[in-house]
Amino acid sequence: MDFYAEGSKMESNFGSLLGELILNSAGDGIFGLDANGRTTFANPAACEMIGYSQEEMLGVSSHDLIHHSHPDGSSYSAKTCPIYAAFSDGKVHSVCGDVFWRKDGTSLNVEYTSTPIWKSGNLIGAVVVFRNLTPLKESEENLRKALGKVQKLKDRLAAENTYLQEEIKLQNNFENIVGQSSAIGNALMRVETVAPTSASVLITGETGTGKELLARAIHHLSDRSSGPFIKVNCPAIPKDLFESEFFGHVKGAFKGATSDRAGSFELADKGTLFLDEIGELPPSMQSKLLRVLQEREFERVGESRSIKVDTRIVAATNRNLKKEMREGGFREDLYYRINVFPIQVAPLRDRREDVADLATKFLLAAKKHFNRPSPRLTKANLEQLQRYDWPGNARELQNVIERATMTATGKALRFELFETPSGKGSFVDGSEEQEVLTDAEMKRCVSENVRGALKMADWKIYGPNGAAALLEMKPTTLASYVAKNGLKGS
């Protein structure tokens, strides 16, 4: 028995079996070609990716079967096929970004290498190893789209940020405070001066002038901005709950005290306590408040343990505290304790140049809130608003704008305002007391109203956008009135 021959045969069979196992287990697609480009073998991965069975591929031109077209679908000549080139020039050809065509007519993004096969010095074919790049391409496309969306969002945010910065600039960087007048400018300069300090501040001004906005601006511009801003409406605190509201209480301290409760001073620790309308506090409560401001400590109701706090005080009032102090209505020592740095807020009638900015701000908010995109402020509207004295200040202006927005029938706004000879305005509202006007005053009001409508309509009388439509009167009647009273556009 020739043991050497038998061993060589067994080794050859083992090698063939090992090679077959490697081909079958490979994750990449592998197929072989003869010198004429016909498929001689294909592993399972190649068959799965291409969609053809091994029987369908064997003996068939691989180029005609899977490599006949470029990615754009144009014809791919066999003469320039990199796969075929391997057994023409005997060199290894590697390609990335090509496509193979599946049996179902769809394409497969691939990278491949065609390696020549030599036998006895002759080129007998090639082995092609390829990898499916479609998932990678899809991931790249998804990433590209995602980056595109991110860029769009980035651009949108940048645009919104630009708008926000312009809005902040318009509002002097002080929250919602709007105005270009010297009066508001002086108040804001004082806010900037005192905010970084720990000084107590007293803000005085009529109702509706925006005292709370200034208090919040002081807080946000201070080194306490990360701490709490606690507002206490002093007139709303019942006398018997004053200590509980300011200092807190423990469970069982009084009837209804079912649990421990922190007071306003404790809640505002390391922050700002805003005492709104402090002038409304009766003297008995003023003395208790003064003690806490002096000692910076207090006890909860029903508890003897003292609690120390670091709370900044910003107070506001619409009263003349100096006068009340002289008359005994407000404690002198408390006044000087809270009035370390005074800030006066001018009424709207003393800063009429701010009316336009405020009205625009309120209109934008009202249109959004009431979903009324059409109404707009005209020059005539603004002139009418600036002539009014606004006894309720910015708060009254906001109410007027909101009512006009709700009742607007078109793009124009109509305000129920009229002026008296003294220049003071009266608001026409059935729920409020109205001033009685003389006949001459009424005629003047009618004339001003007509002139305002004409200005709003660019002095057009007729048509759906004419002054007659705004006044809800016949055009001929209005034309006669205009001619009779000699009304002319400026």
Specify whether 199 is located in the same domain as 112.
no
Question: What mean pLDDT comes out for the span 364-387?
Answer: 83
For residue 453, the Cα-to-chain-centroid distance in whole angstroms is 38
For residue 9, the Cα-to-chain-centroid distance in whole angstroms is 79
Q: How far apart are the first and last CA of the chain?
A: 129
Q: What pLDDT does 133 receive?
A: 86
Q: What pLDDT does 479 receive?
A: 84
User: For 5-9, 18-22, 254-258, which range has the lowest pLDDT when averaged over its residues?
Assistant: 5-9
More confident residue, 12 or 118: 118
Q: What is the DSSP letter of 319?
A: S
pLDDT tens figures, 192-222: 999 999 999 999 999 989 899 999 999 999 9
Residues for the chain: how many in total?
490
Q: Is 374 helix (H, G, I), strand (E, B) or coil?
A: coil
Q: What pLDDT does 31 receive?
A: 92
| Residue 242 contacts residue 285 (beta carbons within 8 Å) | yes
| Residue type for position 57 | M
Q: What pLDDT does 465 receive?
A: 73
Q: What pLDDT does 135 receive?
A: 82
User: For 60-69, 346-355, 470-479, which range has the lowest pLDDT when averaged over its residues?
Assistant: 470-479
**Residue 11 pLDDT > 70, yes or no?**
no
pLDDT tens figures, 294-308: 888 888 888 878 888
pLDDT tens figures, 401-412: 888 888 877 677
Specify whether 207 is located in the same domain as 297.
yes
Specify whether 328 is located in the same domain as 376.
no
The pLDDT-based confidence of 146 (bands split at 50, 70, 90) is confident
pLDDT tens figures, 312-336: 999 999 999 999 998 888 999 999 9
The pLDDT-based confidence of 128 (bands split at 50, 70, 90) is very high
pLDDT, the chain, mean: 80
Q: What pLDDT does 438 receive?
A: 61
* Opening angle at CA 418, ends 490 and 185, nearest 5: 80
Question: What mean pLDDT comes out for the span 7-32?
Answer: 61
User: For 50-59, 81-90, 132-141, 151-160, which range has the lowest pLDDT when averaged over its residues?
Assistant: 151-160
Question: In which domain, by residue range, is 380 found?
Answer: 349-485
Closest CA to 274 of 325, 238, 324, 222: 222
User: For 180-184, 337-341, 448-452, which range has the lowest pLDDT when averaged over its residues?
Assistant: 448-452
Question: What mean pLDDT comes out for the span 136-149?
Answer: 79
* Among candidate residues 313, 346, 379, the one where a domain is terminated: 346
| Residue type for position 466 | G
Q: What is the DSSP letter of 69?
A: B
Q: What share of the chain is helix, strand, coil (3-state, %, to 5)?
A: 50, 20, 35
Specify whether 341 is located in the same domain as 379.
no
Specify whether 380 is located in the same domain as 330.
no
The pLDDT-based confidence of 486 (bands split at 50, 70, 90) is confident
Closest CA to 54 of 46, 65, 66: 46
* Among candidate residues 74, 107, 132, the one where a domain is terminated: 132
| Residue type for position 163 | Y
Q: What pLDDT does 439 receive?
A: 61
Structure tokens at 324: 């009340």
Closest CA to 49 of 1, 111, 115: 111
Burial of 210 (0-12, 13-18, 19+ CB in 10 A): buried
Structure tokens at 82: 């990199």
Longest dimension (CA), the chain: 143
Specify whether 297 is located in the same domain as 382.
no
More confident residue, 93 or 157: 93
**Residue 160 pLDDT > 50, yes or no?**
no
Helix H or strand E segment including 46: helix 44-50
Q: What pLDDT does 130 receive?
A: 93
Specify whether 248 is located in the same domain as 126.
no
- Which CATH number does the domain housing residue 196 bear? 3.40.50.300
User: For 34-43, 253-262, 279-288, which range has the lowest pLDDT when averaged over its residues?
Assistant: 253-262
The number of beta carbons lying within 10 Å of the beta carbon of residue 455 is: 18
Residue 490 belongs to some domain of the structure: no
Residue 352 to residues 191, 383, 412, 427: CA-CA distances in angstroms?
21, 10, 22, 17
Burial of 412 (0-12, 13-18, 19+ CB in 10 A): buried
Structure tokens at 398: 């906001």
Strand bridging mode 122-132 / 107-119? antiparallel
Question: What mean pLDDT comes out for the span 254-261?
Answer: 79
Specify whether 364 is located in the same domain as 341.
no
